[in-house]
Amino acid sequence: MTKSEQANPNTDELRILGELEKKILWLASWTIHNANHLRESADGLKVGGHQASSASLATIMTALYFRALRPQDRVAVKPHASPIYHAIQYLFGRQSRQKLEDFRGYKGAQSYPSRTKDTDDVDFSTGSVGLGVAQTLFSSLVQDYVRAHGWGLDQPEGRMIALVGDAELDEGNIFEAILEGWKQGLRNCWWIIDYNRQSLDAVIREGLWARYEALFQAFGWDVVILKYGSLLNEAFREPGGDRLRQWIDNCPNQLYSALVFQGGAAWRRRLLDEIGDQGSVTRLIEARSDDELARLMTNLAGHDLPSLLEAFGKVDHERPICFICYTIKGFGLPFAGHKDNHAGLMTPAQVESLRRAMNVRPGHEWDKFEGLSIAPAVLQTFLDQVPFVAGQRRHRAARLPAPAQLPVTIQPVMSTQAGFGALLNELGREQSELADRVVTTSPDVTVSTNLGPWVNRRGLFAREKLADTFKSERIPSTFNWDFSPKGQHIELGIAEMNLFTLLSALGLSHAINGERLIPIGTLYDPFIQRGLDALNYACYQEARFILVATPSGLSLAPEGGAHQSIATPLIGLAQDGLAAFEPAFVDELAAILAFAFDYVQRAGESESSERNWLRDETGGSVYLRLSTRPIEQIKREMTPELRQSIVDGAYWLRKPGPNCQVVVAYTGAVAPEAIQAVGLMAEDRRDVGLLAVTSADRLNAGWTAAQRARERGLVHARSHIEKLLAEVPSHCGIVSVLDGHPATLAWLGAVHGHRVRPLGVEHFGQTGSIPDLYRHYGIDANAVVAAAATLTPGRPIRHLKALP
């Protein structure tokens, strides 16, 4: 086929596409109606369905999926176009009728396209608006990264495409992404804006398209505005057409929407009122019936297959493109254009009339080609030859061998953050496949999170080489800031949302590009909250990465009060798909990082492992909460048993005796305070135990899973924490302590019914030295001893100083 044949389909093909467009609109409407009908009769609840949002994209998605897309392209579909997406996949034979019947129900097709929960080949999940859009941009960058390293060159380059709601563009993360895309030389990315001028609540501001146009152009994107369809363009060429065009161009969004809703007679009245005395334009209007006039006036390019196919087909470059497609929310449905249509559902009578208009007989609603004017065999042959479904779309990549132990030189006094820098430095020195596949990234905190030594060894990534001028000018500097296509660090601007979205894209490379990467992202712990929705999104898509957050808690004392993080350990505990660790010592960190390199690559389907009742075969992402506080390291041999316990979440640093009265359970940087407190109590409380908790998250997850297993009849299921606490006598009290919210460890008492006094941080903001702050917030050795004295009866603990 020549370029122009590709761009312009013949009339037969256009007819087929028109029929398919009708069919997906019907199937999506029926899916929503049917699901609601079933729900309503069962429990009286309606579930919404976003028919209007879906219909808005029906033509664009017809043009894309049935013609313009190639198997290597990846698409983030606007959340509310999910019914249209599933209908398309149903026609391709990749979605079952059962799942459509169960739309929005248990195990049915998902309300919003889901990469993990849907079974019909969703490329990127969407739902929280703005995130899927940015994901496509970062996926383009990751594709470039992979290819620049010489991997995946046997695969064709794909386009990363987002179908974007116009109100979705209010989300700030989109603009953060655009800026980053410009810095990184974005290519092969299309954003197709469904410019229906409606959001959830209302009709949007006038003239937004012009702001979008200027904005995208400013960041190096091509902008293609698709406003009028072929019918309107033809009418504009008729006598009086200019006047009609002027009228539409000036028509406010609200009025246009209202007339769309009201239909042909209202269009005629309004047009004749406003421009009817102007000669030839009157004839242009009068020459059309009400229906024809309504068809003409709603013939926007976003609902005009020839315009869309031409625009998509003629792209012959890799620059990023923003298509602004004028559409009508609810196009083809009775509530088209109505400003309240977002959650609108069709009444049974409206569904009946749509059924009649679509020639669908009762009982044949799910028949693929029911009511279409083209022979089923012809339609099926066409569908079988659609380019999009002609190739493999999901890839797999082999697992890289990860060593059980990572080399590192441990200084006598060291912070976990320094340990992390040293571990990566050693990794960067080695030649191994794993080290070559590691890609680090950081939002302008590369140096302050200790990635500097690694970056010095492995370089920064850019598609074009860029030398460090300080180096070429021979100005001494600790860091070598050379960019090259072989570099392994992607330096980002400060926006944390971009960090998480990039991690999401890097962490899906094995499935999208067929090339495995081991992404490591660093940031300051408190800023996890800045990007939390994007982190959650990355986990929901099952992207795999290692997140290193440092400094954290009060222990960053000199950095100031505003940056103290309290809630992040609870995020670590609660976030699905993310195993959170907070080691105190560098040898623990080495064991955890080695585990993480393997864990992020796992993809087993099996249930909890019987050893610790965690989802260890399934794998996931990893969050390391680290500290800048240098603490005295323990000289010890790392045995396989100790390594396993560290990874499972806890071990006895001092095992309690049979008469134990107090256990101190600590996490992270407060280890010296916990150790000191145990020493201070030793004379006045018997057999004091010291439990090092390296992962409250994994302990808690294992405990929960083991309980559930027992409730299912597996009476011997025991989790790691249950085994650790099994020998602790029931009269013993537990004082838990961490530089984070006390609830992180408070649940330990529920495991075997021990009383717990959880210490931690509930307020923040005070500056000071670490001793000042630990005393102020009550997580120093004195606070631990005071808690133990109150919790456990016995003689006064002599070393307890008066608390200030």
Interaction of residue 196 with Mg ion, rule CB under 5 A: yes
Give the total residue count for the chain.
804
> By CB under 5 A, which span of 157-165, 382-390, 521-529, 667-675 interacts with Mg ion?
157-165
- Enclosing H/E stretch for 557: none
649 neighbors 698 (Cβ within 8 angstroms): yes
Mark 681-710 with x for binding to ligand TPP (rule: CB under 6 A) and - for no binding: ------------------------------
Q: In the bound complex, what is the minimum distance in angstroms from residue 166's beta carbon to ligand TPP?
A: 4
Nearest CA to 614 out of 655, 644, 653, 583 is that of: 644
CB nearer to Mg ion: pick between 330 and 760 = 330
Structure tokens at 530: 């800045």
* Number of amino acids touching ligand TPP (CB under 6 A): 17
Site string for ligand TPP, 433-472 (x = CB under 6 A): ----------------------------------------
34: helix, strand or coil: helix
Q: Smaller CB distance to Mg ion: residue 208 or 784?
A: 208
Q: Which stretch binds ligand TPP (CB under 6 A): 190-198, 221-229, 508-516, 624-632?
A: 190-198
Query: Cβ(670)–Cβ(779) under 8 Å?
Result: yes
Q: DSSP readout, 354-423?
A: HHHHTTPPTT-TT-TTTT-SS-HHHHHHHHHT-GGGSS--S---PPPP--SS---PPPSEE-HHHHHHHH
Cα–Cα nearest to 519, from 498, 547, 540? 547
User: Which of 21, 144, 166, 370 touches Mg ion by CB under 5 A?
Assistant: 166
Is 53 a binding residue for ligand TPP by CB under 6 A? The answer is yes
Distances from the Cα of 294 to the Cαs of 212, 261, 288, 299, 540, in angstroms? Answer: 28, 10, 9, 8, 43
CB 672: neighbour CB atoms within 10 A?
17
Nearer to Mg ion, 52 or 451 (CB): 52
Residue with tokens 């501001």: 205
Whose Cβ is closer to ligand TPP: residue 48's or residue 105's?
48
By CB under 6 A, tell whether 165 contacts ligand TPP.
yes
Stretch that binds ligand TPP, among 165-173, 208-216, 524-532, 639-647 (CB under 6 A): 165-173
* From candidates 73, 118, 120, 166, binder to ligand TPP by CB under 6 A: 166
Give yes or no for residue 548 binding ligand TPP (CB under 6 A).
no
Nearer to ligand TPP by Cβ, of 198 and 695: the residue is: 198
Out of Mg ion, ligand TPP, none, which partner does residue 541 contact, by CB within 5 to 8 A per kind? none
Give the nearest distance from C-beta 157 to Mg ion in angstroms.
31
329 binds ligand TPP (CB under 6 A): yes
Q: CA–CA separation, 630 vs 673, rounded Å?
A: 13
Pairing mode, if any, of strands 689-693 and 755-759? unpaired
- Decide if residue 171 touches Mg ion (CB under 5 A): no
CB nearer to ligand TPP: give 454 or 540.
540
Judged by CB under 5 A, does residue 79 bind Mg ion?
A: no
104-133 residues in contact with ligand TPP (CB under 6 A) are: 128-129
Would you list the DSSP string of 45-56? ------HHHHHH
253 binds Mg ion (CB under 5 A): no
Residue whose pair of structure tokens reads 């907070």 in the numeric block: 582
Least separation in angstroms between CB 163 and Mg ion? 11
CA distances from 487 to 141, 400, 437, 460, 635 (A): 14, 20, 11, 4, 36
Find the binder of ligand TPP among 342, 457, 544, 643 (CB under 6 A): 342
Which residue in 29, 62, 198, 667 binds ligand TPP (CB under 6 A)? Answer: 198
Paired tokens of 569: 């350990």
Counting contacts by CB under 5 A, is residue 198 touching Mg ion? yes
C-alpha distances (whole Å) from 546 to each of 200, 466, 581 are 36, 28, 11
Signed CA dihedral, 292, 293, 298, 300: sign only: positive
Cβ proximity to ligand TPP, 257 vs 425, nearer residue: 257
Smaller CB separation from ligand TPP, 184 or 199: 199
The window from 13-21, 164-172, 412-420, 612-620 that contacts Mg ion (CB under 5 A) reads 164-172
Smallest separation, CB 113 to ligand TPP (Å): 13
- At 190, is the secondary structure helix, strand, or coil? strand
Nearer to ligand TPP by Cβ, of 79 and 313: the residue is 79
Instruction: Check if the beta carbon of residue 299 is closer than 8 Å to that of residue 57.
Output: no
Question: Residue 334, preceding bond cis, omega within 30 degrees?
Answer: no
CB of 3 closer than 8 Å to CB of 339: no
- Of the candidate spans 35-43, 163-171, 276-284, 785-793, the one that interacts with ligand TPP by CB under 6 A turns out to be 163-171
Q: Which residues bind ligand TPP (CB under 6 A)?
A: 53, 56, 79-80, 128-129, 165-168, 194, 196, 198-200, 329, 342
Residues that bind Mg ion (CB under 5 A): 165-167, 196, 198
